[in-house]
Chains A and B, each alone.
Chain A
Amino acid sequence: MTENISNCCTDRTVLDKIAAVARNWKGRKDMLIEVLLQAQKLADNAITEDVAEVIAKEMSIPLSTVCNAVSFYAMFSTEKRGKYIIRMCKSAPCHVKGAEDVIKAFEKVLGISCGETTSDGLFTLETCECIGVCDRAPAVMINDEVYGPITPEEVINIITNYRQRREEA
């Protein structure tokens, strides 16, 4: 079960933070998804094998149970991702409003294909299913923020804003 999860070294201090979160829910299997969501935010937006192992150990649940959940839910990634995850909705209401053209614009502006991360580690571009803002289609989520309706022409400004945020940080 674990062979699909990328084996990499997560920073020790990050693992310690994740361990502290998981320890609060020892034996509480029902809190696994919550712990995974929090862990992913701490660890480059991914549940890598070392992260999964820490969670399994601290929550006292089998590693296979952790990996089972990770592989099932779309929000979890086993590969490290960028600081900002761009999730472009490709479900039907966005599709008929031209989502594909917006995806192409993101690919062009970022210089990557869907599923890839920019070399500076800032952006990962993904498509996803309905994000529940069909009244603002076509729509995209960048981390927890929603943009819509957006045109291909607006993509460059959105990306520039995020790049500036990093410089200010």
Chain B
Amino acid sequence: MEETRILLKNIGKINPVSSADYVAAGGYKGLKKAISNPEAIVDIMKDSGLRGRGGAGFPVGLKWSFTKGTPSDQKYIICNADEGEPGTNKDRILMSGDPHSLFEGMAIAGVAVGATKGFIYLRAEYPYLLPILNDAIKDAEAAGFIGKNILGSNLDFEIEIRSGAGAYICGDETALMESIEGKRGEPRYKPPFPGVSGLWGKPTIINNVETLCNVPQIIDKGAEWFRSIGTESCPGTKLFTLSGNINNPGVYEFPMGVNMRTLFKEVGGGCPGGKKLFAVQTGGASGAIINAEMLDMPMDIECCAKAGAVLGAGDLMFIDESINIIDVVENLIEFFVEESCGKCTPCREGNTRLLEFVHKFKDGTAREDDLERLIEIGSFMQVSSLCGLGQASPVPVLSAIKNFPDKFIVKSDERGQN
């Protein structure tokens, strides 16, 4: 099956630093249109139906309308380039191969809501992207696409890069803002939401790299064009990162709604060594683990959710029959124990408890009430944690229990005392 390369169309084909190359490939046309009619942009984004590509799937036009409608002397656009979800590396591909499409998306957002300053919060694990991004910013400034009086208008839009320092939690939008402000990356209580009160208390749009890279072509080609791709509830394409036990790992672009089996077999080439597929973790480390029988699934937000999976940022980690699923679950919970920021109790204590229970399943000492407790604590974390980390971290273990009940064996004849 052929890819639909809309976001990836320039990757490997142009000099990523050169705005001239990007323009020759049709770039910065969206920004020109945006500057000629800033008032119309938010409505076009709403009509396009674009939803956030970082995992939460929030409607982009609606998010932008909050910031547009909040008067302020200063507004900000933040690009969330803290791609920390294990199993995701699509944003790295976009930033290394086509950074101008990101700058254009950010500038359009700035023009749309009256923001003059943008930040790219780049994770520290991508230091080798810094020279590319910095050179591309300089090039775009020299060519007048960003900076002062962009494209000869009276509008300004500057872009600055801020580096993270290794913290998964900073993928959370408010934790990321705390980090840009120079603090520990701990999530804030919401409301107020960033659209109204974000970075330094100012109205702030924060979007994922892939989300922003969608914007230029939507403004250039129109909402109707965008809606003609993908599914009714999730228009457009999606970047899928295939990882784990798969012959062709990598990042691929397909319309939303592509079948997971197609991604596994035709695109990924199946498991190496002729091994059988056993499980798939969908949506990154915090996503659901499904069994191989559930593979026939159209990949969009609603279809995945209905089938008990998670689209997330489009990550699919394939697990073959040689892998012990309890071992994978243990690895995932260890990740969350390590990355929980510790601000709220359900997440800080809950992940540690989940890990204790999983250790019991691993060494065969788990009892019936351990399983009940695990499910109870996991469910409690989902509803009571402050941010997405603690709300989602029980998903892998809870979904694994549901989809691989025979792997979570309990000594059913010995109910524990406590």
The answer to whether A and B come from one shared complex is yes
Count chain A residues whose beta carbon lies closer than 8 angstroms to a beta carbon of B.
Answer: 38
Report the Cα distance A43→B235, complex, angstroms: 50
A137 at the interface (CB under 8 A from B): yes
Report the Cα distance A93→B243, complex, angstroms: 6
Is B128 a contact partner of A146 (Cβ separation < 8 A)? yes
Residues of B with C-beta under 8 A to A68? 183-184
The smallest beta-carbon distance between A128 and chain B, in angstroms, is 7
B180 at the interface (CB under 8 A from A): yes
Report the Cα distance A50→B197, complex, angstroms: 37
Residues of B with C-beta under 8 A to A65? 183
Is B128 a contact partner of A130 (Cβ separation < 8 A)? no
Is B182 a contact partner of A131 (Cβ separation < 8 A)? no
Q: Per-residue 0/1 for B321-359: is the Cβ within 8 Å of any A Cβ (1 yes, 0 no)?
A: 001000010011001001101000000000000000000
Residues of A with C-beta under 8 A to B249? 134-137
Is B124 a contact partner of A134 (Cβ separation < 8 A)? no
B291 at the interface (CB under 8 A from A): no
- The stretch among A11-19, A69-77, A103-111, A117-125 that forms the contact with chain B is A69-77
A156 at the interface (CB under 8 A from B): no
A119-158 at interface with B (beta carbon < 8 Å)? 128-137, 141, 144-146
Residues of A with C-beta under 8 A to B315? 134
Q: A33-B182, A134-B88 are in contact. Are A93 and B165 (CB under 8 A)?
A: no
Residues of A with C-beta under 8 A to B285? 91-92, 130
Residues of B with C-beta under 8 A to A97? 244-245
The smallest beta-carbon distance between A30 and chain B, in angstroms, is 4
Q: A30-B180, A135-B89 are in contact. Are A96 and B166 (CB under 8 A)?
A: no
Q: A32-B182, A91-B86, A96-B323 are in contact. Are A129 and B328 (CB under 8 A)?
A: no
Residues of A with C-beta under 8 A to B163? 33-34, 37
Is B244 a contact partner of A96 (Cβ separation < 8 A)? yes
B135 at the interface (CB under 8 A from A): no
Report the Cα distance A41→B385, complex, angstroms: 36
B181 at the interface (CB under 8 A from A): yes
Q: Per-residue 0/1 for B83-116: is the Cβ within 8 Å of any A Cβ (1 yes, 0 no)?
A: 1111111001000000000000000000000000
Is A129 a contact partner of B317 (Cβ separation < 8 A)? no
B23-58 at interface with A (beta carbon < 8 Å)? none
Is A92 a contact partner of B166 (Cβ separation < 8 A)? no
A31-58 at interface with B (beta carbon < 8 Å)? 31-34, 36-37
Is B89 a contact partner of A129 (Cβ separation < 8 A)? no
The smallest beta-carbon distance between A15 and chain B, in angstroms, is 21
The smallest beta-carbon distance between B260 and chain A, in angstroms, is 17
A95 at the interface (CB under 8 A from B): yes
B230 at the interface (CB under 8 A from A): no
Is A92 a contact partner of B126 (Cβ separation < 8 A)? no
Is A92 a contact partner of B250 (Cβ separation < 8 A)? no
B179 at the interface (CB under 8 A from A): yes
Is A30 a contact partner of B167 (Cβ separation < 8 A)? no
Among residues of B, the one whose C-beta sits closest to the C-beta of A134 is: B243
B137 at the interface (CB under 8 A from A): no
The smallest beta-carbon distance between B137 and chain A, in angstroms, is 16
Is A129 a contact partner of B244 (Cβ separation < 8 A)? no
Q: Which of B166, B244, B335, B341 contacts A75 (CB 8 A)?
A: B166
Is A92 a contact partner of B281 (Cβ separation < 8 A)? yes
Residues of B with C-beta under 8 A to A135? 89, 241-243, 249-251
Residues of A with C-beta under 8 A to B182? 28-33, 69
Q: Which of A34, A91, A128, A141 contacts B162 (CB 8 A)?
A: A34
Report the Cα distance A59→B86, complex, angstroms: 35
22 A-B residue pairs with CB within 8 Å: A33-B164, A74-B166, A74-B167, A75-B124, A75-B165, A91-B331, A92-B281, A92-B285, A92-B317, A92-B332, A96-B328, A129-B86, A129-B335, A129-B339, A130-B84, A130-B88, A130-B168, A131-B125, A132-B123, A133-B92, A134-B86, A137-B244
* Cβ-closest 7 pairs across A and B: A74-B166, A73-B165, A91-B86, A75-B166, A134-B243, A130-B86, A32-B182
